[in-house]
Structure 1
Amino acid sequence: MHGDDTGRLIYLSVLVGVVGLWFFAQNRLSANKLLQQAAVWGLIFLGAIAAYGLWDDISQTVRPQQTVFADQGKVVVPRSPDGHYYLTAQINGAPVHFVIDTGATMLVLTRDDAAMAGLHPDTLAFTGRANTANGEVRTAPVRLDTLTLGPVTDTNVRAVVNNGDMAQSLMGMTYLQRWGKIEIANGALTLTR
């Protein structure tokens, strides 16, 4: 435990002690009322801890998901609460989560996503360079055997693997231009072929 952590723990302990003493002093004549209120606050505290700990699971459940209309050759991606559009495509049979980035030129894979798709990042030649919001990064050009998005499967798709830190793979314009129509309206992005 670091010095800051110890100080915070001491502060929190003193704060809980003071609030507890005040609570007890206010309710010293009514023990039942005191126990009821303590139980309610304890449950609220446990609920907050549970919600914080399970937030990733909860957000995956409530996050809007893409909808595929195979008969129409269409994929509809709802806007996420953070304002971005996220979708899942199959690369060489492996599911890869993308953020749609119309400011990115290429389809850009993280090292982890490249490995899931069977491209061995440790054997790639990172000879390319790309300028990003975080500065210059090294990239390795690759060809994807298959990329399946909704009802459409493309073969021999050009992409790059980013050698830098990147939270999520990016679906850039070189792939998006393969779709005949890209439309953003009513809180959704629609790709049609």
Structure 2
Amino acid sequence: MNMLTVLLAVLGFGLALLIINNDSGQTFGLQNDDFGRLVQLSALVVLLSAGFLAGRRGRAGEVLRNIAVWLLIGLVLVAGYVYRHDLQQVAARVTAGLVPGSPLVMTTSEGSQEVVIHRGRNGHFQAQAVIDGKTLPMLIDTGASAVVLSFEDADRLGLDPATLNFTVRVSTANGEARAAPVRLDSIAVGPITRSNIRALVTEDGRLSESLLGMSFLSTLGSLQIQTDELRLRD
């Protein structure tokens, strides 16, 4: 087993324990912060040992070069752990930019979480909502009194339109139509989840995109538009 394998094993084992014991706050009787420092110290010891052993087989210049390389690898790995939350935020921002409607979870100055959705190229806010376990793109519409599903999206969710009663009159971009009242087990936008939400299903061909309306939005703590960002707080 070479030293790189030992180093990765030390760091991997330490990180796995920190993740597993994140909620308890302790690992082997130590606070997680202290245990994390112990893992870092152990990794540095492995690095220095690797440089020393490699140097015994070469000249002084090679010794220093080997030590420097191992130290650089260790610093990169330690920095990745220390700044893991920042890296997650960067990855989330990139995903939100590449995939329209992808919710970006941010931590406010008060320590609470909020979901940020960027305005799409069409000028509207679209969210990737998870309804009853399935992801659907939905237009956020504060003018809609309820969550409104298109005929096609309702079919995707397993709501057989043939068994629904289209008894409710609604106004759509294509004119007046009829809709069927339904109840959705759950709707989630990022970490914000609501259960037993009132919704409507429109007739076939009446709605091109489902709407995330007030039967969901009114349950939020706040909804704010800041320039090209829509911020939802639980």
Q: TM-score range by the shorter chain?
A: 0.5 to 0.7
* 1:108-154 deviation per Cα after TM superposition (whole angstroms, max 9, x unaligned): 00111112222111111111111223221010000001112211221
The TM-score, its normalising length taken from structure 1, stands at 0.64
Q: What is the match of residue 124 of structure 2?
A: 84
3-state SS in 2 of match to 1:175: helix
The alignment status of 1:118 with 2:118, answered yes or no, reads no
2:202 corresponds, among 158, 162, 187, to 162
Amino acid at match of 2:229: A
Q: What is the match of residue 67 of structure 1?
A: 104
Instruction: Show structure 2 runs of 5+ residues with no match.
Output: 1-96
Name structure 1 gaps, 5 residues minimum.
1-59
- Find 2:181's aligned residue among 127, 133, 141: 141
Tell me by how many angstroms 1:73 deviates: 3.5
Contact 2:117 2:230 in 1 (8 A): yes
- Deviation of 1:77 after TM superposition, in Å, equals 0.5
Contact 2:103 2:190 (C-alpha < 8 Å) held by counterparts: no
- The structural deviation recorded for 1:69 is 3.7
Residue of structure 2 equivalent to 1:100: 140
Paired amino acid for 1:185: Q
The residue that corresponds to 2:76 in the other structure is none
Q: What is the CA–CA distance in structure 2 between the aligned matches of 1:129 and 1:142, rounded to whole Å?
A: 14
How many residues align? The count is 134
Paired-residue identity, %? 41
SS at 2:155's partner residue? helix
Give the number of the structure with larger relative contact order, counting CA–CA contacts within 8 Å between residues 6 or more apart.
1
Shift, 1:61, TM fit: 4.3
